[in-house]
Amino acid sequence: MARLKLYSILIKFSLVIVITKFIIMSRKLTRDTDVCREKLKQLEMRAFHKLSLNSAHTPQKRPYLYERIYGLKKSADRIKGDLVNVDITDYRYYLIEPSIDTNLIYESTLFVFVQSKDSNREKRKQIRETWANRQVYSDYHHNPIYVIFAVGLAPNVFISNKTDPILRDVIEEADKTKDILLLNMMDIYDNLTIKGFLTMLWIANRGFQSNYIMKTDDDIILNMFAWFQIVKKIQMNDIQCVLVGHIWTKPPVERHNKYKVDQSEYGYQTYPSFASGWGYVMTRRTMVTILEAALHLPFLIRDDPYFAGIIPHLTGIPLVSVEKSSYILFKSNISNKEMSKIGVLLVHVSKSSNYTSVWNMFLERRNYGRENTEGQHKDAVPVDLWSASDVSTQLPPEWRLPKNISLISSCNESPLNVTWRIMV
C-alpha cells in the first residue's frame, strides 16, 4: 500500500515537471515567433515601400502573409535559424531583372508579363518564337508589345539556398534573352499572389511609358492581333481605368481541390465576379490601384479572384467581359474551321509542341481579316461591359477597405459608356 502511494506521488511530481517545462517552452516559442514575424515584416515592408504612392497609411497584413512571402509556414525555431543567414539590410526580392530597351516601349505598347516556372524553358522559347516575336508586328507604326517572364525559385532551391541545374539554366537563359524577372521567393501554387504582386510592383516602379499591362501564363497562346484592338479601343475612348478579360460570374470558393481556400482565410462562399487568369488587360492606373489597395487588405492565396475580382469590386475598377467562347481549351483535333466560328482571343495549350500550330492558325486568321473590310468581317469578339458597381456580392468585413483609406489612384469614376465590338 505504501509502495502504491509512493508511485502515485512520483507520477504526480513527474506530471508537474512535464507541464512546467511545456509552459516554459510554449512561452519561449511564442516569443521567438513574435521576433521572427517582426523580422519577416521588415522584409515585407522593404518590398512594399518601393511603391511610391505617398500613402500615409501603414499597411495592415495578416500574420500568415509574413510567413508566406518568405516561403513556407515553418516552425518558429526553423524560421529563426534561417534568418541568421539573412542580411535584412541587403535583402532583395529581385535576383535577376530584365534588361529593358525603353526605346521600344511607347504609351500604346502592351506590356505583357507571363507567369512561368523555372523548368518551363521550352514553353518560354515557343512563346518568344510565336506571339511574343516583335518581328511579326514590324508593320505597326510603334512597337505594340513587350514581354517579360516572371519566374520564382523551386522549393528545394529556396529552402537549401543552393543552385541546382534548372536554376543554372534559368540564369543562363536570362543572360541570353534579357527578358526574365527572377523573384527571390518560393514558386509554389499557393504563392501566386505574392508572385503577381511582386511582378506588378516591379513594373510600377520602372517608369515605363506603356499605359497598358497584360497578365497571362506560359501555357497560353495569345491572339495578339485581337488584343491590340482591345488596347486601341481603350486608348481611343481615353479610358483611364478598366480591366478586360473573360469574367467568371460569382464563382464558388473551392474548399477541397487544387484551388482550395481555407475557411479561415476567406470565409465567404462565393467570390465577386473576376477575370480569368488565362489573360486579361488593364490600364496602368488600374494596376497601381490594385497594388495600392493590396497594401490595406489581407492577401488571398488565389491570385485571380484577388487581383481581378475582390480588389476591382472594392475600388470600383470597371470590368469588361469578353465571351467565354473566345477562350479555347486546347484539344488535339482543333481545326481552323473551329477557330473561325468565333473571335478567338487565346488558346490554352498543354504541350509546347502545340504552340506553333495554334499560332499559325492565328496568322491565317489575321491574313483573312486583311482581305476583308470591317463591315464584311465575320470574326468578331463580342465584348460586354461588366461594371464593378453592378456586382451584388457583399464581402465579409475583413475584406473591405478601411473607411479612412483614400486611394490615391482610385478608379471610382462614372460608368463606362462605350459600345465594344472588337474585330479580329
No. of helices (H) and no. of strands (E), the chain = 13, 15
Q: Is the pLDDT of residue 34 over 60?
A: no
Nearest to 81 by CA among 15, 26, 35, 136: 35
Residue 40's pLDDT band, with cuts at 50, 70 and 90, is very low
0.75 cut: is pTM over it? Answer: no
pLDDT of residue 197: 92
- Residue 247 host element (H or E): strand 247-248
What is the rounded CA–CA span in Å between residue 79 and residue 36?
A: 7
pLDDT of residue 290: 92
- Residue 15 host element (H or E): helix 2-48
What is the rounded CA–CA span in Å between residue 3 and residue 319?
A: 79
Beta strand 243-245 pairing with 380-386: unpaired
Crossing angle for the helix pair 355-370 and 121-129, nearest 10 degrees?
Answer: 20
Query: Which range has the top average pLDDT, 36-50, 58-72, 105-119?
Result: 105-119
Nearest to 97 by CA among 208, 212, 202: 202
pLDDT of residue 268: 83
Residue 324's SS3 state is helix
Residue 420's pLDDT band, with cuts at 50, 70 and 90, is very low
Percent of residues in the chain assigned helix, strand, coil, to nearest 5: 45, 15, 40
- Name the residue with higher pLDDT: 398 or 74: 398
Supply 255's cell numbers. 474548399
Rounded to the nearest integer, the mean pLDDT of the chain is 73
Percent of all residues in the chain with a pLDDT value above 90, rounded to a whole number: 26
Are the CB atoms for 255 and 238 separated by under 8 Å?
no
pLDDT of residue 392: 36
Segment 214-246, tens digit of pLDDT? 999 999 999 998 899 889 888 888 888 999 998
Lowest-confidence segment of 46-60, 104-118, 159-173 by average pLDDT:
46-60
**Chain centroid to CA 69:** 14
Residue 343's pLDDT band, with cuts at 50, 70 and 90, is low
pLDDT of residue 405: 53
Q: Residue for cell digits 537563359?
A: 173
pLDDT of residue 284: 93
The full length of the chain comes to 424
pLDDT of residue 94: 87
Residue 380's pLDDT band, with cuts at 50, 70 and 90, is very low
Residue 342's pLDDT band, with cuts at 50, 70 and 90, is low
pLDDT of residue 156: 83
Residue 330's pLDDT band, with cuts at 50, 70 and 90, is low
Cβ-count burial of 173 within 10 angstroms (0-12 exposed, 13-18 middle, 19+ buried)? buried
Per DSSP, 308 falls in state: I
pLDDT of residue 50: 39
Nearest to 147 by CA among 107, 109, 185, 95: 109
